[in-house]
């Protein structure tokens, strides 16, 4: 199988290359992309010798090309958004790992879908911002869509093999998305006002990038996953529930009308869903340690507290309102999280900014890429102003 890996220098990209390296007879890396970690991308190109590497701008491209030339690596370096779409739709590529964080990953993910690739989707925004458009492209092209998020990958594994997006027809009552609760699950609400970026990115179970780690701390990641699950599996919002599970061993569950609940379990390591999607419908080793339930000893579950995690309620609001609301939600969250990481916004004001942006931006249809991107652009402007109005 020939691969393009978008976001190769991030945590998902690095984990994907780790799995690929364990199976050199099965996988060939055709193209890699990275944004700012040029030295990491150079090392990956030296090891995997892709045909193409894509970076964000011309200066980064010149730097990377010079490094590769010194190592006698023949990889061709490209740059910019159009280059990302190019490597996502190369005729020789079989599968695309879509792991660019944020709205920047939308266009190349759509390009892979239009090209009929096996799309290994780790980019939440493709479905959050453009769920209807993205799923239409998948259906039209005959592309295969496989979720990489541990929760959605778990649901995929717990669904019937021939599931075609009709939960009632297959006896599915609910999807139960598990959430660790992040680093502040047990902290008093009165103590959250002074949370620092360093504390917010210190996830108890998973190793992730800064933005995703903050989303886990606010639980916006789970809200976005609710929206994703709706589009991936054709399940209404009312049949998607979030359950706190601190151990991150049960990655999600499907509740059936006959009383059966089917769950997928495993150690909290993204190489498991990555290996599952790369090899599907077969199985390959991922390098993840076997799960020792006796050593774990117990599995705990708690109801979600929306007072503690208002971002989840905002995501349900956006999903139920439809139109451009999820794109607005996502844009406002990206702006607010960036401001928090730059110490310009307090942790508790992240949902405040998102709510204010949803209130300020008109709800209008967003049924093509242009209208989605316009909603994203305008919401960012509104959210930026909302951040400035909030005081630390």
* pLDDT average, residue stretch 337-363: 96
Could you identify the residue written with the tokens 């030296």?
Answer: 46
Please tell me whether residues 264 and 354 are part of one structural domain: no
| CA angle 319–330–124, rounded 5-degree value | 85
**Contacts for 81-86: CB closer than 8 Å, 24+ residues apart:** 81/107, 81/108, 83/33, 83/52, 83/54, 84/6, 84/33, 84/54, 84/108, 84/111, 85/111, 86/52, 86/54
Collect all residues with Cβ–Cβ distance below 8 Å to 366 and sequence separation of at least 6. Answer: 130, 323, 324, 327, 372, 375
Please tell me whether residues 138 and 256 are part of one structural domain: no
Please tell me whether residues 119 and 180 are part of one structural domain: no
> Is residue 230's pLDDT more than 80?
yes
- Alpha-carbon distance of 148 to 278, in angstroms, equals 10
Please tell me whether residues 227 and 339 are part of one structural domain: no
Which of 141-150, 196-205, 237-246 is least confident? 196-205
Does residue 287 sit within a domain?
Answer: no
pLDDT of residue 122: 94
pLDDT of residue 219: 94
* pLDDT average, residue stretch 231-239: 96
SS3 call for 145 = strand
pLDDT digits (tens, 9 = 90+) for 283-327: 999 999 999 999 999 999 999 999 889 999 999 999 999 999 999
Number of structural domains the chain divides into: 3
Does residue 356 sit within a domain?
Answer: yes
> Is residue 204's pLDDT more than 80?
no
**Domain boundary residue, one of 87, 120, 147:** 147
Which of 57-71, 199-213, 343-357 is least confident? 199-213
Please tell me whether residues 188 and 249 are part of one structural domain: yes
**Which phi and psi (to 5°) does residue 246 adopt?**
-60, -30
Q: Are residues 197 and 92 in contact, defined by beta-carbon separation less than 8 angstroms? A: no
Residue 362 sits in a domain of what CATH number?
Answer: 1.10.1740.10
pLDDT of residue 202: 80
Does residue 95 sit within a domain?
Answer: yes
pLDDT of residue 206: 61
**Domain boundary residue, one of 147, 173, 202:** 147
Please tell me whether residues 220 and 354 are part of one structural domain: no
- Alpha-carbon distance of 349 to 392, in angstroms, equals 8
Q: Using 50, 70 and 90 to split pLDDT, how confident is the model at 123?
A: confident
pLDDT digits (tens, 9 = 90+) for 256-267: 999 999 999 999
| CA angle 359–365–367, rounded 5-degree value | 135
Please tell me whether residues 140 and 161 are part of one structural domain: no
pLDDT of residue 347: 94
Nearest of 265, 278, 248 to residue 16 by alpha carbon: 278
- Alpha-carbon distance of 380 to 371, in angstroms, equals 14
Q: Using 50, 70 and 90 to split pLDDT, how confident is the model at 162?
A: confident
Could you identify the residue written with the tokens 């800064």?
Answer: 210
Using only C-alpha atoms, the chain has a radius of gyration, in whole angstroms, of 20
Does residue 124 sit within a domain?
Answer: yes
Does residue 175 sit within a domain?
Answer: yes
**Domain boundary residue, one of 121, 147, 173:** 147
Please tell me whether residues 196 and 139 are part of one structural domain: no
Please give the mean pLDDT across all residues of the chain. Answer: 94
pLDDT digits (tens, 9 = 90+) for 52-92: 999 999 999 999 999 999 999 999 999 999 999 999 999 99
Longest dimension (CA), the chain: 63
pLDDT of residue 265: 97
- Alpha-carbon distance of 358 to 294, in angstroms, equals 46
Q: Using 50, 70 and 90 to split pLDDT, how confident is the model at 207?
A: low
Does residue 13 sit within a domain?
Answer: yes
* pLDDT average, residue stretch 210-223: 91
Sign (positive or negative) of CA dihedral 19, 21, 25, 31: positive
Q: Domain range spanning residue 162?
A: 155-268
Please tell me whether residues 230 and 359 are part of one structural domain: no
**Which phi and psi (to 5°) does residue 362 adopt?**
-65, 140
Residue 82 sits in a domain of what CATH number?
Answer: 3.40.50.720
pLDDT digits (tens, 9 = 90+) for 1-35: 999 999 999 999 999 999 999 999 999 999 999 98
| CA angle 130–133–137, rounded 5-degree value | 130
- Alpha-carbon distance of 144 to 2, in angstroms, equals 15
Nearest of 215, 231, 148 to residue 180 by alpha carbon: 215
pLDDT of residue 338: 95
Q: Are residues 165 and 233 in contact, defined by beta-carbon separation less than 8 angstroms? A: yes
Q: Are residues 380 and 337 in contact, defined by beta-carbon separation less than 8 angstroms? A: no
Q: Using 50, 70 and 90 to split pLDDT, how confident is the model at 187?
A: confident
Q: Using 50, 70 and 90 to split pLDDT, how confident is the model at 234?
A: very high
Please tell me whether residues 237 and 113 are part of one structural domain: no
Please tell me whether residues 129 and 160 are part of one structural domain: no
Could you identify the residue written with the tokens 């006959």?
Answer: 258
Burial track 307-344 (b if 16+ CB lie within 10 A, e otherwise) = ebbbbbbbbbbbbeeebbbbbbbbbbbbbbbbbbbeee
Q: Which residues partner with 97 through β-bridges?
A: 5, 120
Its pTM stands at 0.92
pLDDT of residue 326: 96
Q: Using 50, 70 and 90 to split pLDDT, how confident is the model at 203?
A: low
- Say which residue, 299 or 189, is predicted with more confidence: 299
Please tell me whether residues 8 and 142 are part of one structural domain: yes
In the chain, % of residues over pLDDT 70: 98
């Amino acid at each position: 199988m020939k691969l393009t890996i978008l976001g190769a220098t991030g945590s998902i990209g690095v984990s994907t290359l780790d799995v690929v390296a364990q199976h050199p007879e099965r996988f060939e890396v055709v193209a890699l992309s990275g944004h700012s970690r040029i030295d990491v991308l150079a090392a990956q190109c030296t090891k995997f010798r892709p045909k193409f590497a894509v970076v964000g701008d011309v200066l980064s491209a010149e730097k990377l090309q010079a490094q590769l030339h010194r190592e006698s690596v023949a990889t061709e370096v490209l740059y910019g958004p159009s280059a990302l779409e190019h490597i996502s739709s190369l005729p020789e590529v079989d599968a695309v790992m879509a792991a660019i964080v944020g709205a920047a990953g939308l266009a190349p993910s759509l390009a892979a879908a239009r090209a009929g690739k096996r799309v290994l989707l780790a980019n939440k925004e493709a479905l959050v911002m453009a769920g209807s458009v993205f799923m239409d492209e998948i259906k039209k092209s005959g592309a295969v869509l496989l979720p990489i998020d541990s929760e959605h990958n778990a649901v995929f594994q717990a669904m019937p093999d021939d599931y075609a997006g009709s939960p009632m027809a297959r006896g599915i009552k609910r999807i139960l998305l598990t959430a660790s609760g992040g680093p502040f699950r047990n902290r008093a609400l009165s103590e959250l006002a002074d949370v620092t970026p360093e504390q917010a990115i210190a996830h108890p179970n998973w190793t992730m990038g800064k933005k995703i780690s903050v989303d886990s701390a606010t639980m916006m990641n789970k809200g976005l996953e609710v929206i994703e699950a709706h589009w991936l599996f054709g399940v209404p919002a009312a049949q998607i529930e979030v359950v706190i599970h601190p151990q991150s061993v049960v990655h999600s569950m499907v509740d059936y009308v006959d009383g059966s609940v089917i769950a997928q379990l495993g150690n909290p390591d993204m190489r498991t869903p990555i290996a599952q999607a790369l090899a599907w419908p077969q199985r390959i080793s991922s390098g993840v340690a076997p799960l020792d339930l006796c050593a774990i000893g117990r599995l705990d579950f708690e109801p979600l507290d929306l007072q503690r995690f208002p971002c989840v309620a905002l995501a349900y609001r956006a999903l139920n309102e439809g139109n451009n609301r999820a794109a607005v939600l996502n844009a406002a969250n990206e702006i607010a999280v960036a401001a928090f990481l730059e110490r310009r916004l307090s942790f508790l004001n992240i949902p405040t900014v998102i709510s204010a942006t949803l209130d300020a931006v008109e709800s209008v249809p967003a049924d093509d890429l242009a209208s989605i991107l316009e909603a994203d652009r305008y919401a960012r402007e509104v959210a930026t102003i909302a951040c400035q109005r909030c005081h630390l």
